[in-house]
Amino acid sequence: MMSSPYVVVVTATNFTQEVIEKSSQVPVLVDFWAEWCSPCKALMPTLIKLAESYQGQFILAKVNTDEQQQLATQYSIRSIPTLKLFRRGRVVEEVAGVQSETVLRNLIDKHRDRPADKLRLQAEAHRFAGNEAQAIEILRQACALEPSYDDIHLDLARWLLESQQVEEAEVILKALPVNIQTEPRGQLLYHLLTFARITQQAPSHAVLEDRLRADPNDHQARHQLAALQVLAEDYPAALENFLELLRRDRKFNDDAGRKGLLAVFNLLNNQGELVSRYRHQMTRLLY
């Protein structure tokens, strides 16, 4: 085993100090292994690589189960390699067997303090105070600081969509790993991207509402207003406008009313009383 300040050999004597106490500062990944275990040896280079890559943002603690049977019994080790991640004195994650680097990074990243998170908190404070432009700029800095931190990029994409900066949001979404794009949170943002495109040339809520009061058959105004309402998370109002658009003109903009309803249903995970009610009303109009 290579010598590294981020890798420590743990025994029953120093376990409390090196794992329990140190996990209050950074995550400690405990690797229960043995010399005779081929999978343990296959996993070790990945663990060492990660320890060096993270430069102290987590500590790798190695426990030889043949020599430290007391610890193996105490932590119910039934097969090796087994990895247990400690944070603030307790086990927060556990996996057994050889794991990929991606799996291990995701496991560690969930529990380490990340520099970008501090910036995200600052951005959220500015956003709450109404300083949207400043909030977005700080979040851009967070993305630049940790380019592989997908959650930050998803946050930025959503904020950009809500502020109608559609092109930049689309670039961010398309640059994300495919598995993130196809996850529910990625798919949700692609739905929002569709609505944001509808609103790109739209006037304000107030102007659109005035247009509809003057002419309830102003389908473009109703379509744009519904999209703006989706971006503002006013789903009941958006569904009502998409339903009214469907009722008044099924053919408008290639069945925009029905498509809008279905997209909002997807945003709401196709669950809940609101979805059930408007799906029933949509079905009555269609059939």
- Catalytically active residues, by annotation: 37, 40
For the record, the structure tokens of 182 come out as 């196809």
- The answer to whether 243 and 261 are in contact (CB under 8 A) is yes
d(CA 10, CA 104): 20
Secondary structure of residue 285 in the 3-state scheme:
helix
- Tell me the DSSP string of 183-240: SHHHHHHHHHHHHHHHHTT---HHHHHHHHHH-TT-HHHHHHHHHHHHHTT-HHHHHH
Q: 115: cis peptide before it, omega within 30°?
A: no
Cβ–Cβ under 8 Å, residues 169 and 204: no
User: In the structure encoding, which two tokens stand for residue 151, read together?
Assistant: 């959650």
Angle, alpha carbons 167-168-173 (nearest 5°): 100
